């Protein structure tokens, strides 16, 4: 026996579970499509510098998790570890920020690659649905995105998603806070790598998940005690708008995120049913990113929601998604002539919008009916030589077991009527 195995840290989406995955992607993006966000799709790989400049040289994503490669032509590329830098790059390249009104609102859905230590909810290849609103500094935009994400989770029937909210300050007040935080961190007992991080990106140290580090951070200075008036006011407006929309949140003054580019509004959606990998989505404002990658000043805000972890959260809560039936009608032809007629009927049904499938390979009635039952179809359409001679097919309701002969030329109308 040969053995097959996908690369470490990856998994395949296969039926029937893949249907839930698609439905989650759809549900996470539906609110965006109703809010003026246009679909954007960027390549699966980019020049390495886009991420090293955009995501940040001091982040785990860039230093440890990025898949990089050199092409035969000598280009240094990276498989995309996240979406924001690519989407902003694409918007700048297409001059979307000059084309019409700001913000440029974009949404995306795709797979991302990070060389991480695989565990439940943490993979090397995973899916996100994301959104970016580019070019406007207005608390209403931040609030809009937060509300749209909360609505997306709610539409899936998830009750256990919690929203954590914080502000990271801006160019005016963060440098002062950064210095105070560095002073505090330098006095702690930390390993060499973390000590190096204090000098490059001290806020990231607050995000350290290790208990021995968290314990020492108990008395750490908080951004909110060092925030300038403009940032305070901005944050208060975001909080008011989110609250007024009926979206509950917890202020989390220690919330920072793994990427360097965040300013002001920062948020994370967490779910308690996922063990250590509790973040189902996150995002925030990134006013400096455009300039970091060589563009004009474009204050922006965005988020990315993890599809894989959202599926796990649904499972943890025992939520069954209301998925449309894969097959409404399963046809069972008995004999060669019936095979031709039934095949034509199935084609007609599909063209009329009915999800229809049929038994192939000249199966016996018994074997074919077993397939019909397994397909989850509501109706079986059975036809043999004798039915055809009478100009009918047998329509069997697989729920009630009732069976009825229907004229061949009325099958499509009858089934579309019954299926509503």
- Give the residues lining the site for ligand ATP (CB under 6 A): 82, 114, 116, 121-123, 126, 128, 257-258, 277, 279-282, 304, 306, 308-309
Closest residue by beta carbon to ligand ATP: 306
Q: What is the DSSP letter of 83?
A: S
Closest distance between ligand ATP and the C-beta of residue 191, in Å? 19
128 is in an annotated binding site: yes
282 is in an annotated binding site: no
Q: Of 311, 248, 258, whose CA–CA distance to 284 is shortest?
A: 258
For residues 203 and 381, which CB has a smaller minimum distance to ligand ATP in the complex? 203
With contact defined as beta carbons under 8 Å apart, do 305 and 152 qualify? Answer: yes
Over the range 357-394, which residues count as b (16 or more CB within 10 Å of their CB) and which as e?
bbbeeeeeeeebbebbeebebbbbbbbbeebbeeebbe
Closest distance between ligand ATP and the C-beta of residue 84, in Å? 9
Cis check: omega of the bond before 296, within 30 degrees of 0: no
With contact defined as beta carbons under 8 Å apart, do 255 and 268 qualify? Answer: yes
Closest distance between ligand ATP and the C-beta of residue 258, in Å? 4
For residues 207 and 357, which CB has a smaller minimum distance to ligand ATP in the complex? 207
Place of tokens 């040289």: 57
For residues 169 and 281, which CB has a smaller minimum distance to ligand ATP in the complex? 281
For residues 124 and 235, which CB has a smaller minimum distance to ligand ATP in the complex? 124
Q: Please state, in angstroms and rounded to a whole number, the distance separating the CA atoms of residues 418 and 45.
A: 48
240 is in an annotated binding site: no
Number of CB atoms found within 10 A of residue 243's CB: 12
For residues 25 and 257, which CB has a smaller minimum distance to ligand ATP in the complex? 257
Burial, 129: exposed, middle or buried (Cβ in 10 Å; 0-12, 13-18, 19+)?
Answer: buried
233 is in an annotated binding site: no
State the Cα torsion 149-151-155-156 to the nearest 10°. 30
Token digits for 270?
């967490």
For residues 51 and 123, which CB has a smaller minimum distance to ligand ATP in the complex? 123
DSSP 246-291: T---EE-TT---SSTT-EEEEEEEEEGGGTT--EEEEEEE-TTHHH
For residues 154 and 418, which CB has a smaller minimum distance to ligand ATP in the complex? 154
Q: Please state, in angstroms and rounded to a whole number, the distance separating the CA atoms of residues 28 and 109.
A: 9
Token digits for 112?
């991302």
82 is in an annotated binding site: yes
Q: Please state, in angstroms and rounded to a whole number, the distance separating the CA atoms of residues 265 and 252.
A: 11
For residues 23 and 228, which CB has a smaller minimum distance to ligand ATP in the complex? 23
For residues 196 and 276, which CB has a smaller minimum distance to ligand ATP in the complex? 276
Closest distance between ligand ATP and the C-beta of residue 122, in Å? 4
114 is in an annotated binding site: yes
Closest distance between ligand ATP and the C-beta of residue 124, in Å? 7
Cα separation values, 71 from 86, 273, 395, Å: 19, 42, 58
DSSP 113-144: E-----BTTB-SEEEEEEEEEES---HHHHHH
360 is in an annotated binding site: no
Closest distance between ligand ATP and the C-beta of residue 270, in Å? 8
Closest distance between ligand ATP and the C-beta of residue 368, in Å? 41
Closest distance between ligand ATP and the C-beta of residue 154, in Å? 17
Closest distance between ligand ATP and the C-beta of residue 281, in Å? 5
Binding residues for L-histidine: 82-84, 114, 128, 132, 257, 261-262
Annotated binding site: 82-84, 114, 128, 132, 257, 261-262
């Amino acid at each position: 026996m040969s053995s097959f195995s996908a690369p470490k840290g990856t998994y395949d989406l296969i039926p029937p579970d893949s249907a839930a995955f698609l439905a989650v992607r759809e549900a996470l993006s539906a609110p965006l499509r109703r809010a003026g966000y246009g679909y954007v799709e960027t390549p699966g790989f980019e020049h390495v510098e886009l991420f090293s400049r955009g995501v940040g040289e001091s982040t785990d994503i860039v230093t440890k998790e990025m898949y990089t490669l050199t092409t035969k032509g000598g280009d240094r590329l990276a498989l995309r570890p996240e979406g924001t830098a690519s989407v902003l790059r694409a918007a700048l390249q297409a001059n979307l920020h000059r084309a019409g009104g700001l913000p440029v609102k974009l949404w995306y859905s795709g797979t991302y690659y990070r060389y991480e230590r695989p565990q439940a909810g943490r993979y090397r290849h995973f899916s996100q649905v994301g959104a970016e609103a580019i070019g406007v500094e207005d608390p209403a935009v931040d609030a809009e995105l937060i509300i749209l994400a909360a609505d997306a989770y709610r539409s899936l029937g998830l009750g256990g998603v919690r929203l954590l909210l914080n502000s990271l300050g801006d160019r005016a007040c963060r440098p002062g806070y950064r210095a105070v935080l560095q002073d505090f961190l330098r006095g702690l007992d930390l390993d060499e790598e973390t000590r190096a991080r204090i000098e490059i990106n001290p806020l990231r140290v607050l995000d350290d998940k290790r208990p021995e580090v968290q314990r020492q951070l108990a008395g750490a200075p908080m951004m909110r005690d060092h925030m300038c008036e403009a940032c305070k006011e901005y944050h208060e407006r975001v909080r008011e708008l989110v609250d007024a929309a009926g979206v509950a949140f917890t202020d989390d003054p220690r919330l920072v995120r793994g990427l360097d580019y965040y300013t002001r509004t920062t948020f994370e959606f967490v779910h308690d049913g996922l063990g250590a990998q509790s973040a189902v989505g996150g995002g925030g404002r990134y006013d400096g990113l455009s300039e970091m990658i060589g563009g004009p000043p474009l204050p922006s805000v965005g988020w990315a929601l993890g599809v894989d972890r959202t599926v796990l959260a649904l499972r943890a809560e025992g939520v069954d998604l209301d998925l449309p039936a894969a097959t409404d009608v399963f046809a069972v032809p008995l004999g060669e002539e019936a095979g031709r007629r039934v095949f034509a009927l199935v084609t007609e049904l599909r063209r009329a919008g009915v999800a229809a499938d049929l038994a192939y390979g000249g199966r016996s009635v018994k074997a074919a009916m077993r397939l019909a039952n397994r397909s989850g179809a509501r109706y079986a359409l059975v036809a043999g030589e004798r039915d055809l001679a009478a100009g009918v097919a047998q329509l069997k309701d697989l729920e009630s077991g009732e069976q009825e002969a229907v004229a061949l030329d009325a099958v499509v109308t009858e089934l579309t009527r019954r299926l509503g």
